[in-house]
Structure 1
Amino acid sequence: MLLDQQNTIMRILQSTHRPRSDVHDGAKFRDRLPVKDVESLQCLEAELKMNPDAKSELTTFLGLVGGFDLKDTVWRVLKATFTTAVARVMNWRGVNNKIGVQSLVLKEVVIGAVRQNPLTGKASNKDIEFNIIKWLHLAGDREGGRRERLKKREAQQHIADPH
Structure 2
Amino acid sequence: MQSGTICDTALTDASLAQTSAHASSPSWISLLSQPAQSTDTVALMHEMLAKQDVLLQQQGQIFTLLSASQLQAPECSLDYKDLPIRDHQGLTGMEVRLQDQDYRTKLINHLSLIGGTDVRDTVFRIMKRVVSHSLATKTNWRGINGKSPFASLQLKDVIIAAVWKNPITPTASACEVEKYMKRWLQMAMDREGGRRRRAKPQD
State whether structure 2 residue 104 is matched by structure 1 residue 46.
no
Correspondence 1:116 to 2:176: no
Higher helix proportion: 2
Structure 1 residue aligned with 2:87, among 37, 47, 52? 37
Identity among equivalent positions (%) equals 37
Give the direction of change, closer, same or farther, for the CA distance of 1:20–1:136 in structure 2 (3 Å limit). same
Which amino acid is 2:199 matched to? L
Report the alpha carbon displacement of residue 60 of structure 1 after superposing the two structures with TM: 0.7
Equivalent residue, structure 2, for 1:25: 76
Partner of 1:106: 155
Shift of 1:133: 0.4
1:145 and 2:189 correspond: no
Distance (whole Å) between structure 2 residues aligned to residue 15 and residue 127 of structure 1: 31
Q: Which has the higher contact order (CA 8 A, sep 6+)?
A: 1
Contact kept, 8 Å, 2:112 with 2:166, in 1: the verdict is yes
Which stretches in structure 2 are left out of the alignment for 5+ residues? Answer: 1-55
Query: Between Structure 1 and Structure 2, how many residues are aligned?
Result: 144
TM-score (normalised: structure 1) = 0.79
Q: Distance in 1 between matches of 2:121 and 2:137?
A: 19
**Residue by residue, what CA displacement relative to the aligned partner does 1:85-114 show, whole Å, maximum 9, x if unpaired?**
111111111111111110001001110111
Is residue 26–residue 57 contact of structure 1 (8 Å, CA) maintained in 2? no
**2:151 alignment partner, SS class:** helix
Partner of 2:34: none
- The 3-state SS of whatever aligns with 1:128 is helix
User: Where does residue 4 of structure 1 map in the other structure?
Assistant: none
21 and 129 in structure 1: CA distance in 2 versus 1, 3 angstrom threshold: closer
Alpha-carbon distance in structure 1 between the residues aligned to 2:98 and 2:63: 36
CA–CA distance in structure 1, aligned partners of residues 153 and 94 of structure 2? 10
Task: Say what the alpha-carbon RMSD is for the aligned residues.
Answer: 2.3
Larger of the two Rg values belongs to structure: 2
Q: Distance in 2 between matches of 1:21 and 1:64?
A: 11
Residue 132 of structure 1 deviates from its aligned partner by: 0.5
Question: Is 1:81–2:157 an aligned residue pair?
Answer: no
- Structure 2: distance between partners of 1:116 and 1:147: 37
- Provide the rounded CA distance (Å) in 2 between the counterparts of 1:60 and 1:127: 20
- TM-score, normalised on structure 2? 0.64
Of 150, 163, 180 in structure 2, the residue corresponding to residue 131 of structure 1 is 180
| Structure-1 residue corresponding to 2:112 | 63
Long gaps (5+) in structure 1: 1-8, 159-163
